[in-house]
Structure 1
């Protein structure tokens, strides 16, 4: 699908919109898109993100992800890109990324045009919220024009026009059935990001210890948006012990996530680290999904699992799932920037569950 837009300076912007499952491949044209996106970001784009980008452009990604890639050209030269993705089935949450404008063409409104073209169809099809991450104040200004607002650290979120952000957080993950446990899929990119970053936490400050995702504003905030999903998903694919289970409610929404990460070889290959996130209304289902993930991993020879906690409630959830305190590291977690000598700190509790 191709569109034309006349920019304010008189340039004609030709936008190629590559809809889910369409116009993908590994032709020289597709490779030029890949190189346009990866080279400018080097070294900011990590290898994991570049690997997923290659899959998105080539059309070899898991079909559970419904992604749209926008490529803008002026006089046949690529000048801008943008990408938006959601789940192929439950298309209510989106992730926005891989946005870049050629430095020689900045200030023309290219990113503004691409963001509108990416999001308008999403809202029209019933989308409820979309997430992105940026530290660039100019980019933040552009995104603000399209309804995005700061959420957590470098993360911004836009909710469906006419919806209050607080209402969305309060209602989206409310109880609707006990939920069904299933394996993670690539299409869960945005749903997992929401579960990780939602402000409706039930007091859990640390969302993911491995990826360092926190939420205790203004002193402690997240330093990532979509990248934690890419990293965890890639890690999940490398080792059969790296089990990742999610809990889906009656509306198809992710209300819990549990993933186990183990080394692929060496003396610690039978030991795994557990990360989990649970929506407030589903805390009573925590042990069920944790046990399901551990049981599957144990079939591959896993012998012990460790998890970290700084809150009493998280410790209680782990204890109910068979974990016992192994060690307590006093005042190790600092609730504020390292440069702030007056920032409060708290204990970090390491818990372990032995399997057989």
Structure 2
């Protein structure tokens, strides 16, 4: 078997190489190359592809990455093809200065393969590989230092978001309400789905980046999906503890962007037991507005979910009319109703 390493764009017909429908077309067409380095490792026998897997790292920094889209042709399974491909991927990743790789699997046979290559079970169904010398990754990667800066999040933040949201700290019950990600669940393609949903002025995602160009915080605002509620948004955020002192900077930047989105009220959903998260919100002008009794199961007990809110403006323009939303009357229907008297 030969191993061919290639990057998108690929000619037509290779959409099956990406299983994330939200970005498959863009990834295969090479449209994400400005942000992501996405090599594919193709195993070929007599010129025929019998297995493949992909790796995704930021285009400009190769410290962290994801292993995705692992496949072996059914007729060639149990022949060590995936092992050879993964070995090559890990070797090239570490040679380029890579520190940590993340993946997920629900397949026990695949889990055994990843274990043999140094991956260890991490969060939920997720696994992680640490390069030689990176044993203190959890302590060192998100450590403090120079002040971080707020910027717009991009596709390049996909691997960094996996690091941030799968890191054991902060130990908040609700990691990301927008993607229904909790403290004991793996976070990965959630970022892709969220970023895609925000397009077309439906929200904004802001990153907190430190001097080493590492993602140390993320704040996402998503507009609610109905005509009656479009002036309100849901805010979800996570900040590495070493940069909690800049959480207010990140949150206030998200609030400022709401003016462009015509979002007048923000709501944040969190567990009542996460006092440190409450404090960060209060420092940014949020306060408790509602409470759902016994909404969350935590360590065999029930915990209240609280809703923190901040009113940004008293009014907001309706960016989208009723016909924009599912079930709403379209303009041509309104015209016909008016014409009928």
Q: TM-score, normalised by structure 2?
A: 0.87
The residue that corresponds to 1:327 in the other structure is 290
Q: Is the 8 A contact 1:247 1:254 kept in 2?
A: yes
Deviates more, 1:67-76 or 1:94-103: 67-76
> What is the distance in 2 between the residues matched to 1:249 and 1:269?
33
Residue 265 of structure 1 deviates from its aligned partner by 5.4
Cα 1:100–1:109 shift into 2, 3 Å = same
Residue 62 of structure 1 deviates from its aligned partner by 4.8
Cα 1:184–1:271 shift into 2, 3 Å = same
Cα 1:207–1:252 shift into 2, 3 Å = same
1:24 aligns with 2:9: yes
1:175 aligns with 2:144: yes
Counterpart of 1:153 in 2: which secondary structure? coil
Counterpart of 1:233 in 2: which secondary structure? helix
Q: Is the 8 A contact 2:224 2:234 kept in 1?
A: no
The one of 211, 227, 233 aligned to 1:266: 227
> What is the distance in 2 between the residues matched to 1:255 and 1:162?
22
Q: Is the 8 A contact 1:287 1:318 kept in 2?
A: yes
- Within-5 A mapping of 1:194-273: 194-199=163-168, 201-215=169-183, 221-222=184-185, 224-236=186-198, 238-263=199-224, 266-273=227-234
1:307 aligns with 2:268: yes
Deviates more, 1:315-324 or 1:276-285: 315-324
Cα 1:62–1:262 shift into 2, 3 Å = farther
Residue 203 of structure 1 deviates from its aligned partner by 2.9
The residue that corresponds to 1:159 in the other structure is 130
> What is the distance in 1 between the residues matched to 2:24 and 2:88?
20
1:187 aligns with 2:134: no
> What is the distance in 2 between the residues matched to 1:123 and 1:331?
46
Q: Between Structure 1 and Structure 2, how many residues are aligned?
A: 311
Q: Is the 8 A contact 1:241 1:302 kept in 2?
A: no
Q: Is the 8 A contact 2:208 2:218 kept in 1?
A: yes
Structure 1 or 2, whichever has the larger Rg, is: 2
The residue that corresponds to 1:353 in the other structure is 310
Q: TM-score, normalised by structure 1?
A: 0.83
> What is the distance in 2 between the residues matched to 1:212 and 1:110?
35
